[in-house]
């Protein structure tokens, strides 16, 4: 109850204390919960060796979620040493006992050929079992196999149902994939409004890619009512996840004062992130600021460097800002 806000506010420290006492009384679920808190340093100091010992105790006692947690640590090399075979055996044990998260992890190993030969058919069976156990990521992965006809017959309608199930279970990639299918009219009739709703759902579930896509739709009113302020917020969220095209878009908002108070230094910093990520338009706009000294120091050499980089990336207007002798140094620039 201390971790679930029922009936009192969350208190990880108290939860750890109660779990420790219950674990001493051989409550294996409590041992697993305490190990998880120690692993994540949630309310208690980090103690991964003790966490591993508690996971092992709970697993040996037959608590399958602990076997899954221990297997994940083995797989990532977060125990004494990385041991993919030990991880496979633990996932197999837990999956056979009905732990759906373990079936999902084992499915990923079978799909990718970790600790065994690649076997997409077996991966599909494991993903199906995990999906039935309400693991949204498993539904999504099974949908991908169905869509590609990898290891099982190609079945696009089933794939879409699986993406929807994954989305409803909290898997953002399921919402995102469905949204893109409706946006592009792939396997379904194009429905831009439905696409926008699914992409927004994916964004809310944590997909930065979806946030960036919704931001662009909001800027032009594509499938949604135009909302530049919300678009900016979503561009910044996507930029924080290193989606550099969205850093460029946010930079333009601030550099021009579009629907926000003008803040050229902030805009320039965002444009620089876009340019560093090889977004030619970001280099071009930033170069224009340095040419005029508008909100940034006047710096013609720096502007030329930025125009050169933008030109090299295919930005025609940037090429026209360069002297002919410099433009000739850019492959194919003379043809633009």
In a domain, 48, yes or no: no
Domain containing 255: what range? 246-336
Q: What CATH number is attached to the domain comprising 255? A: 1.25.40.10
In a domain, 232, yes or no: yes
Q: Does 307 lie in the same domain as 279?
A: yes
Q: Does 324 lie in the same domain as 252?
A: yes
In a domain, 41, yes or no: no
In a domain, 204, yes or no: yes
Q: Does 224 lie in the same domain as 306?
A: no
Number of domains in the chain: 2
Which has the closest alpha carbon to 166: 196, 135, 128? 135
In a domain, 118, yes or no: no
Which has the closest alpha carbon to 178: 150, 139, 217, 212? 139
In a domain, 205, yes or no: yes
Region of poorest pLDDT, from 43-47, 112-116, 234-238: 43-47
Q: Does 296 lie in the same domain as 282?
A: yes
Q: Does 319 lie in the same domain as 301?
A: yes
pLDDT of residue 24: 93
In a domain, 327, yes or no: yes
In a domain, 213, yes or no: yes
Model confidence pLDDT, tens digit, residues 1-33: 344 444 445 687 888 889 999 999 999 999 999
Half-sphere exposure of 17 toward its Cβ, with a 13 Å CA cutoff?
4
Q: Does 195 lie in the same domain as 252?
A: no
What percent of the chain shows pLDDT beyond 70? 95
Q: Does 269 lie in the same domain as 232?
A: no
């Amino acid at each position: 109850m201390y971790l679930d806000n029922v009936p009192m506010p969350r208190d990880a420290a108290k939860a750890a204390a109660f779990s420790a006492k219950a674990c001493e009384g051989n409550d294996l679920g409590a041992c697993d919960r305490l190990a998880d808190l120690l692993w994540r340093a949630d309310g208690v100091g980090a103690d991964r060796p003790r966490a591993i010992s508690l996971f092992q105790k709970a697993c040996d006692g037959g608590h399958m979620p602990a076997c899954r947690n221990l297997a994940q640590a083995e797989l990532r090399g977060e125990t004494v040493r990385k041991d993919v075979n030990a991880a496979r055996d633990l996932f197999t044990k837990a999956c056979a006992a009905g732990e759906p998260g373990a079936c999902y992890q084992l499915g990923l190993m079978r799909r990718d050929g970790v600790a065994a030969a690649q076997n997409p058919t077996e991966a599909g069976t494991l993903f199906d079992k995990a999906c039935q156990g309400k693991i949204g990521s498993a539904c999504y992965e099974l949908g991908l196999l169905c869509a590609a006809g990898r290891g099982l017959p190609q079945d696009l309608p089933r794939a879409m149902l699986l993406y929807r199930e994954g989305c409803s279970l909290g898997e953002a990639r399921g919402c995102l994939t469905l949204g893109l299918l409706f946006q592009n009219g792939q396997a379904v009739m194009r429905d831009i409004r439905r696409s926008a709703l699914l992409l927004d759902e994916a964004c809310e579930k944590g997909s930065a890619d979806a946030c960036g896509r919704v931001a662009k739709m909001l800027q032009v009113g594509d499938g949604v009512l135009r909302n530049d302020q919300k678009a900016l917020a979503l561009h910044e969220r996507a930029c924080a996840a290193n989606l550099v095209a969205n850093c460029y878009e946010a930079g333009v908002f601030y550099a021009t004062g579009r629907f926000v108070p003008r803040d050229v230094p902030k805009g320039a910093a965002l444009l620089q992130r876009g340019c560093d990520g090889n977004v030619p338009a970001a280099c071009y706009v930033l170069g224009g600021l340095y040419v005029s000294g508008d909100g940034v120091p006047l710096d013609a050499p720096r502007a030329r460097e930025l125009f050169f980089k933008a030109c090299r990336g295919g930005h025609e207007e940037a090429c026209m800002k360069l002297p002919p002798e410099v433009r000739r140094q850019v492959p194919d620039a003379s043809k633009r």
